Amino acid sequence: MTTPAPLARSHPLRRHAAALLAGSLLLATAGQAASEEEDVITSHGIATFGELTYPEGFEHFAYVNPDAPKGGIHHTWTLGSYDSLTPFTEKGDAAEGAWGVFDSLMVSPDDTLGEYYGLVAESVTYPPDKHWVSFKMRPEARFSDGSPLTAEDVVFTVDAMQNKGQFRYRAYFGEIEKVEALGPHEVKFTFAEGASPRDLVPLVAGMGIFSKAYFEDRDFSKSSMDPPLGSSAYQVESADAGRTIVYARDEDYWAKDLPVNVGQNNVDRIRIDYYTDQGSAFEAFKAGAYTFRGEVNAERWLNGYDFPARRKGDVVLQEIPAHTVPNAGGLYFNLRRDKFQDIRVREAIETMFNFEFFNSRLFHGVEERVASFWERSDMAAEGPPSPEERAVLEAVLDDLPEGIGDILNDPAATPYAGEGSSQRDRQRQRRAIQLFNEAGYTLENGRLVGPDGQQFTFEMMYASPDAEQYLSPFAKELQGIGIDARLRFVDSAQWRERAETFDFDAMHVFIPMSELPGIELRDAFGSEYANVGGGLAVSGVSNAGVDKLIDMIVRAETREELRVRVSALDRVLRAMRIRVPYWVRPDSWIAYYDYYREPETLPEYSIGIPGIWWADQARYGELRASGAIR
C-alpha cells in the first residue's frame, strides 16, 4: 500500500486523493470581500487557519518555473496489478493515477498546508457559520471531448458518490445535505446539521468532477477498463491491464494557462509500468526500461546503484529533505481476533521486533524508529500530557479501552529499545515473555501456550518481497520464545480478498496520515469503519473514546486546538499498541535518468515530480541514442 514514485499533491494524477486525505480546512480571511447584500464572504481561495498565501490575481505558484518547456515523458513504475480505470467503485483494482483525469473546483499548492485556489471555480462564497458554500464556475471549463463542464455535472458527481461510490466516499459525501445548480455555472452545497464544514468545504472543493452525459448510458457502480471522460491536463492514452498505463497531456486542455497550472503539467506523457516485485523492478531500471524511481530500501540505495549507467553519470541520485508527515508504517494487528484483545499480547509481540539490530545490520543505521502516527510534526505526543492535552483526555477517559495505563500521567508510549548489538536480545525476550505470562500464557516444552493449551500462532501478511528481509528474522525471534510465527506472502488479488474479509493476523501496511487531520481519521480508526473491508481500518479499532477524540479533532476551530487534540489521539493509539511500528528516514531518495530537470527550489511539502519538473528532450535523445534508455 505504498507508492514507489509519489506524485505531487497539486498534480492532476494525485489531486483527488489529496483532497480526501489532506485534512481539514477553514475558510480564510485574506483576499475576501464581504457582500453588502448578504452576510457572506466571497474569495478566490480557502485556507485552513489564518490567511491565504497567494493574493487574488497571483500569476503562478512561487515554486514553479513559469517558462518550463513542454514535452517528453515521465516513465516510472509501481508494484502489483490493476484491472480497472474507475477508482470510485467498490469493484476492481484501479490503475495508478486513475483519479487524476478529473479536474476539481479548486487545487492545493505544494508550498502551503490546507490552502485551495480556483481551478474549475473562479471563486467561493459562504456565510460566517459555513453551513453552506457556493462556487462560481468558469464558463470555459470543458471535458476532454470539448463538452462543457457545468454545475449539473457537479450535482451528478455528488449524487453518484453518495449512492454508488465506494463505501468510504458514500460516508464522506453523506454529510452533504443538498447540492444545487443555481445556474449553468454556479453550484451550492448545503451541509447537514452538525456536520463539520472544516472538512466538507475542502472535500467538495477538491473532488474530481464526472460528466453526467457520459454516464447516461453507463453504470457508474461497475468497474470498467473503458477510459472515463475526464477534464484534466492528462487523459488515458493507453491501458494494458496489469502491465502499463499511459496518460497523455491534452494539448487543448482548457485550463492550461490558469495561474494554478502555469509551470506545471510539463511532460507530454506519464507512463507507469507494473512489476510483481522490487527486485525485477530495480533490474529494469538499471537496464533503462523506465527512468524514474523512488527508493525505499537502504541496502539497495547505499550499495545497489553502482552500475554502468550510474558510473557514466546517466543516472542521478538525489536525497531530498523530508518535511511531511510520513505514512504510518507498521505491522498492524487484526483486533477483530480474540487472541489480540489483550494489550499485553500486542505489546509483547511489538517488544520482540529488534529494530536496533535490523537498523545496524540491514539498514546501515540510516533509519529512525517511529513511535508517533504523526512523526515530523508538532502533533506527535511527547512525554506526559500537557495541561491542555490532559483536559482533552479527561473528557473521554471513561470511554477509553482498559489496559492502556495511566494515560493522564504516563509518558507517551514508545517501542521497546534494545542495545542492538546482537539479534538475540535476552532482555527483550524476558520482557516479552513476562507480558505473555501476565496475559495468561506459559512456556511449555518450548511452546507458548494459552489457557486453552493451544500454542500461540502469529501470521504476518505482506505483499512486498522487500519486507521479508526483516519479517523473516522477526518471525525467528518470535519462534525463539515459543510462538508459532509464520510469514504469508500474497499477490495483489489475494491481498484485496484477505483485506476485505479480514483474513489475517497482522498486516504489513503503510496508512496515509495527514498534515491536517480530519474526517479521514474515521476511515482509519473510527468504529463505524471498523468492519469495512479493504479500507484504511486495518486493525479494526472500535472504541467510543477514540471516536470522541476524532469528533473533537474534526471540530477543532484553531490550529492549536487541532494540535492538542491530535496529540491526545496519538497518545491513545500508541498506548493501545495496535501495530508494531516501523521507521522513517530524514530524506526522500529518488533516482532518475539525467534528462529530468527541476525548479531552483522545490516546494516544502512535495517532491513535485512529475508536475513541476520537465524533460530535457535533447539529453533524452542522447541517452536513447547511447542505449542507456530503452
What confidence tens digit (pLDDT) does each residue in 403-458 have?
999 999 999 999 999 876 667 788 999 999 999 999 999 999 999 999 999 999 99
pLDDT number for residue 92: 82
Average pLDDT over every residue of 568-582: 98
Find residue 46's DSSP bridge partners. Answer: 116
The tens digit of pLDDT for each residue in 596-627 reads: 999 999 999 999 999 999 999 999 999 999 99
**Fold of the domain spanning 328-584:** Dipeptide-binding Protein; domain 3 (3.10.105)
Average pLDDT over every residue of 491-502: 89
User: Radius of gyration (Cα) for the chain, nearest Å?
Assistant: 25
Decide which of 168 and 161 is more confident: 161
The rounded distance, in Å, linking the Cα atoms of 288 and 301 is 17
pLDDT number for residue 510: 94
pLDDT number for residue 424: 78
pLDDT surpassing 90 at residue 54: yes
pLDDT surpassing 60 at residue 307: yes
The tens digit of pLDDT for each residue in 336-378 reads: 999 999 999 999 999 999 999 989 888 888 999 999 999 999 9
Average pLDDT over every residue of 107-111: 95
pLDDT surpassing 80 at residue 1: no
pTM summary value: 0.87
pLDDT surpassing 50 at residue 100: yes
pLDDT surpassing 90 at residue 585: no
Q: How confident is the model at residue 508 (pLDDT cuts 50, 70, 90)?
A: very high
234-318+590-626 belongs to CATH 3.40.190.10: yes
pLDDT number for residue 471: 96
pLDDT number for residue 284: 98
Contacts of 573 (CB under 8 A, 6+ apart): 373, 525, 541, 546
Q: How high does pLDDT run on average in the chain?
A: 90
The rounded distance, in Å, linking the Cα atoms of 328 and 578 is 12
Contacts of 452 (CB under 8 A, 6+ apart): none
Average pLDDT over every residue of 234-245: 96
pLDDT surpassing 60 at residue 135: yes
pLDDT number for residue 178: 95
The rounded distance, in Å, linking the Cα atoms of 320 and 323 is 9
One-character DSSP codes across 131-143: SEEEEEEPTT-B-
pLDDT number for residue 170: 75
Size of the chain in residues: 630
pLDDT number for residue 422: 67
One-character DSSP codes across 239-302: EETTTEEEEEE-TT-TTTTSTTTTT---SSEEEEEEESSHHHHHHHHHTTSSSEEEE--HHHHH
Would you list the domain boundaries of the chain? 15-63+85-217, 234-318+590-626, 328-584
Assess whether the region 15-63+85-217 and the region 234-318+590-626 belong to the same CATH fold: yes
The rounded distance, in Å, linking the Cα atoms of 154 and 207 is 9
Q: Which three cell numbers stand for residue 507?
A: 498486516
Which option is the CATH number for 15-63+85-217: 3.40.190.10, 1.10.150.110, 1.20.1740.10, 3.40.50.300?
A: 3.40.190.10
pLDDT number for residue 16: 33
The tens digit of pLDDT for each residue in 23-48 reads: 322 333 334 444 444 589 899 998 87
pLDDT surpassing 70 at residue 319: yes
Nearest Cα to Cα of residue 599 among 63, 38, 40, 166: 63
- The values of phi and psi at residue 432, to 5°, are -65, -45
Q: What percent of the chain has pLDDT over 70?
A: 93
